[in-house]
């Protein structure tokens, strides 16, 4: 860990000096579309996961328990990875963890389709993808923040919508319907709810070095929340270029902190509301907080 940190600091110093011109080069359409053939996909801890990497640099992706995944990368060309669902919906998605983005990396609720992509960007590195080549569409106020909405036309009718949160964060709830409804009302040609091949909390690195350890979940107003207590089937995908630095994963199975608390609801999970029959207490240190007659949540 120490050597990785040292390496990361050194690498980001170098990238900081030289990365600006290349980081603003948008990915071409053919590269983006290739994401439809993920190098690895499957189910882990009750969630769909997706890992895709273009050759170049090294990436080490590992599924953890429940909605957890962990990824480290070094001088990659481009990769996307993360956990979520194999179809998109206007879900309320919770996430929390650590994100060390380096120069150009994205932490986003991400959908992919043949017609385009949507990024609800919660955090990113020194490079803001909206600054490159998009058209500003307006702003969305949601989940305690303000998002700048950008449309990026990749050509051949391949459209990206980006919601870029002004207040970067590494945990919270994303009310995706607020974004998708806005996009559709403003002329998005593909409806992510029906067109997307998957919807994940994505950690993406593009010509950068960094690390991310995230846990995703779903907050639902009318059904039991997805809990992250299921024991993990730990799957691991690694790509490495010849010159890559070995990023060893100690692969210590994370302790399942929520499995012993089946009577208490997890962070962000529902814990009350009219008609609610599930847990009404929260795991420490969270408090059951009412946000209306129909819904209380562990915050």
Among 10, 55, 133, 299, binds ligand NAG (CB under 6 A): 55
Interacting span for ligand NAG (CB under 6 A) from 21-29, 32-40, 202-210, 276-284: 32-40
Tokens of 203: 């950690």
> Which residues within the stretch 217-256 sit at the binding site for ligand NAG (CB under 6 A)?
220-221, 239, 254
Q: Is 175 among the residues that bind ligand NAG (CB under 6 A)? A: yes
Q: Is 213 among the residues that bind ligand NAG (CB under 6 A)? A: yes
Length of the chain: 299
Q: Is 117 a catalytic residue?
A: yes
Among 23, 44, 57, 70, binds ligand NAG (CB under 6 A): 70
- How far apart, in Å, do the first and last CA atoms of the chain sit? 31
CA angle 221, 226, 231 (to 5 degrees): 170
Q: Is 218 a catalytic residue?
A: no
Among 2, 13, 37, 277, binds ligand NAG (CB under 6 A): 37
| Given the residues 96, 117, 122, 218, the one annotated as active site | 117
Backbone CA torsion sign across 132, 134, 137, 141: negative
Question: Which DSSP helix (H) or strand (E) runs through 5?
Answer: helix 2-23
Query: Helix, strand, or coil here: 282?
Result: strand
| Given the residues 122, 204, 207, 218, the one annotated as active site | 204
Distance CA 247, CA 241 (A): 12
Beta strands in 10-63 (DSSP E): 40-44, 47-53, 58-63
Task: State in angstroms the smallest separation of the CB of 143 from ligand NAG.
Answer: 8
Q: Residues in the site for ligand NAG, rule: CB under 6 A?
A: 34, 37, 39, 52-55, 64, 70, 90-92, 175, 213, 220-221, 239, 254
Q: Could you list the active site residues?
A: 117, 204
């Amino acid at each position: 860990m120490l050597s990785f940190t040292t390496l990361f600091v050194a690498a980001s110093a170098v990238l900081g000096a030289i990365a600006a011109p290349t980081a603003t080069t948008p990915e071409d359409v053919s590269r983006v579309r290739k994401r439809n053939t993920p190098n690895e996909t499957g189910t882990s801890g009750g969630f769909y996961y997706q890992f895709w990497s273009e050759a170049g640099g090294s990436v080490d992706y590992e599924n953890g328990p429940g909605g957890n995944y962990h990824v480290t990368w070094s001088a990659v060309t481009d990769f996307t990875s993360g956990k979520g669902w194999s179809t998109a919906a206007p879900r309320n998605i919770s996430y929390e963890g650590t994100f060390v983005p380096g120069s150009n990396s994205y932490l986003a609720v991400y959908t992919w389709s043949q017609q385009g992509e949507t990024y609800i960007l919660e955090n990113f590195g020194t490079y803001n993808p909206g600054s490159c080549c998009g058209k500003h569409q307006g702003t969305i106020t949601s989940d305690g923040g303000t998002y700048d909405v950008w449309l990026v036309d990749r050509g051949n009718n391949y459209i990206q919508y980006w919601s870029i949160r002004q207040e970067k964060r590494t945990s919270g709830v994303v009310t995706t319907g607020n974004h998708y409804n806005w996009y559709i009302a403003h002329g998005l040609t593909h409806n992510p709810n029906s067109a997307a091949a998957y919807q994940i909390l994505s950690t993406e690195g593009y010509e950068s070095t960094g690390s991310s350890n995230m846990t995703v979940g779903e907050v639902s107003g009318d059904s039991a929340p997805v809990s992250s207590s299921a024991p993990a089937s730990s799957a691991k995908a690694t790509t490495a270029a010849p010159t890559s630095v070995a990023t060893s994963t100690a692969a210590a199975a994370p302790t399942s902190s929520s499995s012993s608390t089946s009577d208490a609801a997890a962070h962000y999970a529902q814990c009350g509301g009219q008609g609610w029959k599930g847990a009404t207490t929260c795991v420490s240190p969270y408090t059951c907080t009412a946000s209306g007659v129909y819904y209380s949540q562990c915050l």
